Amino acid sequence: MSGEQINAIHGASLSGRALADLAQPDQATQIARRWDRCVDEPIGLRAKGHIYGKQHIYEGERVVLPLAGDDPEQCFILGVTDGELSQYGPLDKVEPGHRNAETTWIRLPDPAG
């Protein structure tokens, strides 16, 4: 899935936007917990299942990896998403707290050796 396809799912460019702008509050909280774990441990994430867009749910797969800088306070994630733009269903039909993703955590080698 290209960056333009991801932008289309969310109805606008993701550049400079906060997670709270892209997902419902309960979904944003779940996503933030996963992303925080990637940076805090550090650990990789592979999730397969629903991708939540602005108005619809799509099917896809996502890999998220932590990126650390020299300053421990400046940690980032890199995410790659693959999937089809075929819609699974409208977002307003999803029950609050619904999750349909198979999540696998990936142990990363210790950069210190």
pLDDT of residue 93: 63
CA distance 48 to 99: 11
* Residue 84 pLDDT grade (very low, low, confident, very high; cuts 50, 70, 90): low
Picking from 42, 46, 29, the residue whose alpha carbon sits closest to that of residue 69 is: 42
pLDDT of residue 111: 66
Residue 22 in tokens: 């892209």
Neighbouring CB atoms inside 10 A of 16's CB total 6
Is 88 in contact with 58 (CB distance < 8 Å)? yes
Residues 6+ apart with CB under 8 A from 29: none
Cα 47 to its chain centre, rounded Å, is: 8
Residue 61: pLDDT above 80? yes
Overall average pLDDT of the 46-60 stretch: 77
Picking from 90, 17, 104, 82, the residue whose alpha carbon sits closest to that of residue 52 is: 90
pLDDT of residue 9: 73
pLDDT tens digit sequence for 14-43: 888 888 887 778 778 888 898 899 988 889
Say what the pTM is.
0.74
